[in-house]
Amino acid sequence: MRGYLERQDPAVNPQMPTLLDMSDRIVYMPAMALTDGTYLPFMKMHGLGNDFVVVDERGISPRVNAAVAVAIADRHRGVGFDQLAVLSDTDQADVHLTFWNSDGSLADACGNATRCIARHLMTETGKSAVDIRTGRGMLHAIDAGDGLTSVNMGQPLLRWHEVPVSHEMDTLELPIDGAPTATGMGNPHCTFFVADAETIDLSARGAEMERHPLFPERTNVQFASLLGPDHLRMRVWERGVGVTLASGSSSCATAVAAARRGLTGREVKIDLDGGQIDISWRDNGVWMTGPTAHVFDGKWRL
């Protein structure tokens, strides 16, 4: 039987020892103890340090809302995550995913979370490929071998109203200082190509650009530099989150923007703060391939 580990609070039980490293502070909680609605079981996962809380609501009524997401997202008083993903039932795919940002807003796409959950589903079912329904549409994922997972994030959205931006313009070079490229991957992206991404004040520039008037739905922001043939260094500010170690949809958008501008071909390696990811823009969509990690399981007290 699967269960969870709960760290007991000595303020509740003063008979407990006070040393944090005492093993008898840890109590095994059987899975059946979590079915009374008091607790919300979750999985903690990450893709290249882009970290997620994953809640499985298949077969049960919805329990996650914006307030719950914001509380769990707090890295000091909660669990902490870049995005929270909720699994729910659908007749059209293996699972439906809903994504919450750490500020309580919703996102239609989250590439690295999709890869993590695809790996979880393949482990759970024994399948080598799964289909996942998201706000972005139907996404196909496969076992790429060597512990890697590939997801087809669909075709990029390149027209101004698809990204979207506020009015008609050429998305290849926006009328903003630095002439960034706008790309839609189910969420909006604004990619700057710079001489050295390491020198950018990401917190300041990212926060500024996220809410630029050209992006009515706000935007993810990337700063990328060319390291070599088909090899990019990229840093990312995620809409509704802030600086993150990696972003799957941002990696796809950056690869598409680089190819459109003639900086790279359609298959690139991208070095992120959390590691390297492979992106391939093919006739049937933008594929991303990389590692995933299921770090631990836990429960949130509602």
User: Do 297 and 261 share a domain, yes or no?
Assistant: no
Contacts with 86 (C-beta within 8 Å, 6 or more apart), sequence order: 54, 55, 57, 62, 64, 97, 98, 99, 100
193 lies in the same domain as 234: yes
Q: Which residues of the chain have pLDDT under 50?
A: 1-34
Are both 90 and 145 inside the same structural domain? Answer: yes
Q: Judge if 187 and 131 occupy the same domain.
A: no
| Domains held by the chain: number | 2
Q: Which residues span the domain enclosing 125?
A: 3-11+44-152+292-301
Indicate whether 207 and 268 sit together in one domain.
yes
Predicted pLDDT of residue 38:
87
In a domain, 212, yes or no: yes
Q: How much is the pTM?
A: 0.86
- Give domain status of residue 227, yes or no: yes
Shared-domain flag, residues 111 and 197: no
Does residue 197 belong to any structural domain of this protein?
yes
Are residue 7 and residue 110 in the same domain, yes or no? yes
Residue 107 and residue 60 share a domain: yes
Q: What is the model's pLDDT at position 36?
A: 58
> What CATH number is associated with residue 67?
3.10.310.10
Structure tokens belonging to residue 83? 């995005």
Q: Are residues 87 and 137 in the same domain?
A: yes
- Give a yes or no: residue 170 inside a domain: no
Same domain, 7 and 119: yes
